[in-house]
Amino acid sequence: MSKKPIVDDSPYLVPDDGSFRIDKARTAPPKSAADDEAQKDRLRDQVATLDDLQKILYAHDHHSVLLVFQAMDTAGKDSTIRAVLSGVNPAGCQVHAFKRPSAEELDHDFLWRTACRLPERGRIGVFNRSYYEEVLAVKVHPQFLDAQHLSVGKHPKKFWKQRYASIRDHERHLARNGTVIIKFWLNVSKEEQRQRFLARLTEPEKYWKFEAADVAEREHWDAYMQAYEDALNETSRPWAPWYAIPADSKPYMRAAVADIVVRTLEGLNLHYPVSGDAELAQFADLRKRLERE
């Protein structure tokens, strides 16, 4: 298990010392960033590289990769997942979107429903929302715990500390067993979210994306930001780093995510299996047999 993130030079890496502050995190690209067209070109190059790396990942069969996406509504999780993985063999990816838990899921511990959907070796798994909802939405709305027959009790700080500890232990176990975990928080500003909600309400082809409850959640914006800050500080670790990606520009965001995924896979020392002398001799014999037919 790595002692530090493979991509540890990203300006968006959340440190593991508890020093991350949301009010200091960018929502817009830096002024030095290339324009949208250049970002789209960069993304295309990264997608092509990712396709090649996934093939080697599958053949190498030593690692699985888990990409976790969390964000406020309209940040662009769906479109980023689609854009980054658009050129990868569908057989090499597994995407799961987690919404309100079912009755069966509520009768298990909070990690159960995602643990059932972890990627096997050789594949890239994607969680569109995840077990982190249990320390984000549930922390903002602790009444959701009623359905789990739980409560924060008289010591809420202790309750949430235990949940963070469970997540850290879970991710460390996965990392020890070959799962490479990369977590992305897509950081959209409140004003940009407002503009995107307005677009959904003024463009008929986007009506289907809109739910009144989404706007109601804006009333809890500050509580969500505090929940994100706490969660990222508590769970960004070398074996499961968080990256806080500016999300006000979708082209920049997608290229930034793709860059981190590609560089992480490149750092795994992936390679195609090497055949031994006996196997090579067998291949030579089989080739001759086929050529003689």
Best CA proximity match to 81, nearest among 62, 68, 65? 68
Is residue 247 situated within a structural domain?
yes
Is residue 168 situated within a structural domain?
yes
User: Residues near 102 by Cβ (< 8 Å), separated by ≥ 6?
Assistant: 113
Rg (CA), the chain: 21
Would you list the DSSP string of 55-93?
A: HHHHHH-S-EEEEEEEESTTS-HHHHHHHHTTTS-GGGE
Range of the domain at 182: 22-292
Is residue 12 situated within a structural domain?
no
H helical segments located in the chain: 36-60, 77-84, 103-106, 112-115, 137-140, 156-176, 190-202, 212-217, 221-235, 250-266, 277-292
CB atoms within 10 A of CB 83: 22
For residue 179, the domain's CATH number is: 3.40.50.300
Q: What's the confidence (pLDDT) of residue 160?
A: 97
Is residue 5 situated within a structural domain?
no
Q: What's the confidence (pLDDT) of residue 1?
A: 64
Coil vs helix vs strand at 180: strand
Q: What's the confidence (pLDDT) of residue 232?
A: 98
Is residue 9 situated within a structural domain?
no
Q: What's the confidence (pLDDT) of residue 2?
A: 61
d(CA 164, CA 234): 6
Torsion of CA 155, 157, 162, 164, to 10 degrees: 160
Coil vs helix vs strand at 54: helix
Is residue 3 situated within a structural domain?
no
Is residue 4 situated within a structural domain?
no
Is residue 11 situated within a structural domain?
no
Best CA proximity match to 128, nearest among 172, 166, 170, 93? 93
Number of residues written out for the chain: 293
Q: What's the confidence (pLDDT) of residue 212?
A: 83
d(CA 130, CA 98): 6
How far does CA 66 lie from the centroid of its chain? 7
d(CA 182, CA 41): 23
Domain count, the chain: 1
Per-residue pLDDT of the chain (293 residues; tens, 9 = 90+): 666 889 999 999 999 999 999 999 999 999 999 999 999 999 999 999 999 999 999 999 999 999 999 999 999 999 999 999 998 999 899 999 999 999 999 999 999 999 999 999 999 999 999 999 999 999 999 999 999 999 998 889 999 999 999 999 999 999 999 999 999 999 999 999 999 999 999 888 888 877 888 889 999 999 999 999 999 999 999 999 999 999 999 999 999 999 999 999 999 999 999 888 898 899 999 999 999 98
Q: Parallel, antiparallel, or unpaired for β 93-97 and 179-187?
A: unpaired
